[in-house]
A and B are shown apart, each in its own frame.
Chain A
Amino acid sequence: MAFFEDRDWDTVSEGASMQPLEFGPITMTTQVMDASGTRDLYPIHHDREFAKANGARDIFLNTMWYQGLLGRFVNEWGGPESFIRKLSFDMRATNCPGDLLTVRGTVTKKYEQEGQKLVDLDVRIDNQLGPDTVTARITLELV
């Protein structure tokens, strides 16, 4: 999808799959950009010894970074004027340096509410170790 093209709500159908997005492999630089971009200095995201001492397999991407990636994924599908109305997600497994992420999504519902043209999306982030490291429910407003 071109960055400058908005998706017409009328053409969307329930059950449709969204174009998957690959991100990675995650590197230490990704982690640095995560910490600075989302302003999160909790050591579990940048200090390997701290992360491992706390039972993690390595430092890992944080909550706000997932908010960013999920937002990018649905806005690239919906177009620049699409606007997230609701967002919630579960983090079920970590994503660490070396991991390759794949974001995929499905349209679960299409409806109008208070003048807004909405779609509910089921979005998941997999990595090479397994599916559903993150599972998200997103309501996106289209134009």
Chain B
Amino acid sequence: MSEARDTSCRDECAPHFGQRGPFKFSRAELNAPMIWNFAESVHDANPVYWDETYAKQTRFGRIIAPPHSIMTMSGGHWWAPDYILEREEQEIEAQGDDPTETIREIVAKYGYTTATNVTREDEFLQPYGPGDGRIKQTSYVDDVSEEKQTAVGKGVFIITIIEYRRELDDELIARARNVLLMYDSSQPREN
């Protein structure tokens, strides 16, 4: 494929780089039972998750969530009534277009519609725990690679930054860098 077309997919996406999409909130305010459910599943006895008296005299000053539980703590519903789901959807739609979706649509025009996650790196900036309210999540696309031939087919790598904030003070608590391969599964590499 020509170099000119290689440039155009990325170029078409470029105006949307760094544009934050709508934010969404976790299902519930952070609470101790959510933390205990997570710690239970791996038998984690860390007293800063379990023992309020102990946690108070640590540098955290309170019970905190495991920082690395951010994906779990920021999760959505397993089930909810339609009127709740519709309300939440409207709150997100009211914030306008999602540039990440726009980029996925551009990439799809080039035939890259099959997704596979490549890597995710998490960075934890501040402790968080009960009393901080819900977790507020937003994301933006940082970059899209030029078109590349991969083992599963031709595609592009979309690099997304996901930001997590405490509802209470809007402080950035965690940031993840995710690399997603979007590829054309109908045309595997020719060997």
Report which A residues bind B (CB closer than 8 A). Answer: 3-4, 23, 30, 33-34, 36-41, 63-65, 67-72, 75-76, 80-81, 83-88, 90, 143
Q: Are A81 and B48 in contact (CB under 8 A)?
A: yes
How far, in Å, is B177 (CB) from chain A's closest CB? 9
Q: Which of A36, A63, A64, A70 has the most CB of B within 10 A?
A: A64
Q: Known contacts being A41-B78, A68-B66, A71-B68, is A88 close to B121, with CB within 8 Å?
A: yes
Q: Inside 8 A of A90's CB, which chain B residues have their CB?
A: 119
Residues of B near any A CB (own CB < 8 A): 37-48, 54, 58-60, 66-69, 71-72, 75, 78, 119-124, 127
Q: Contacts A39-B78, A68-B38 hold; do A3 and B121 have CB atoms under 8 A apart?
A: no
Give the total number of A-B pairs whose CB atoms are below 8 A apart: 99
* Distance of A21 from chain B, by nearest CB (Å): 10
Given A83-B124, A88-B119: A67 and B71 interface contact (C-beta under 8 Å): yes
Chain A residues near B124 (CB-CB < 8 A): 83-87
CB B126 to nearest CB in A, in angstroms, measures 10
Which of B54, B67, B75 has a CB less than 8 Å from the CB of A84? B67
Distance in angstroms from A113 CB to nearest chain B CB is 13
Question: With A and B bound together, what is the CA distance between A65 and B163 in angstroms?
Answer: 21
Contacts of B59 in A (CB 8 A): 81, 143
